Amino acid sequence: MHDRSVQIHLGAGAIIVAAFLVLFAIPTWVSSPSNVPNIILSPLFWPWALAGLTAITGLGMILTSIRAPLSTQPETSDVEDRTKAWARLAGIAVVMMVSMLAMPRIGMVWTSMLVFAITALLVRTSHPRTALVSAFLVPLVLYAFFAHVAGVAVPQGDFVRLP
């Protein structure tokens, strides 16, 4: 399978997932009180936003793959690369399990920082400094917004509590 067809398949999959979210999952499993004063604080807002962004991403993948030239180079499959890919996938699964165990103990903000940094290093990002700075700043900015502007309680840990 060429890169172009993989891109089209991934884009179509993203659109199907977005359609499933919009048509079935969100209406079935997400409920919201009718008197929410701010749309951003509604439990429906972020699932709808994520579904919309997923659909836009899928559409973008399909459109960019259609415009891309068809590759004539044959595929190469390196067993070592597959082994490393499976190892990274297993590493991500471990990170997810550990994050679920760590969140009640050290809190959502600190857990998010660690998970972001470990994931960036695990996928071998080409911008490690930017990823580490983002791993520190993004959770802090989100905490500041939700805790101090939106007035939403962010889960804190047992050891360190943010103001």
CA distance linking residue 112 with residue 49, whole number of Å: 21
Q: What separation in angstroms does the CA of 31 have from each of 20, 23, 71, 113?
A: 17, 14, 46, 29
pTM of structure: 0.61
Per-residue pLDDT, averaged over 77-92, amounts to 82
98-131 per-position pLDDT tens digit: 999 999 899 999 999 999 999 999 988 899 999 9
The answer to whether the CB of 66 falls within 8 A of the CB of 58 is no
Q: What is the structure's pLDDT at 18?
A: 97
Res. 142 pLDDT band, cuts 50 70 90: very high
Which ranges of the chain would DSSP assign to H, the alpha helix?
3-20, 26-29, 45-67, 79-106, 108-122, 128-144
Q: Calculate the dihedral angle through the C-alpha atoms of 145, 158, 133, 41, rounding to the nearest 10 degrees.
A: -20
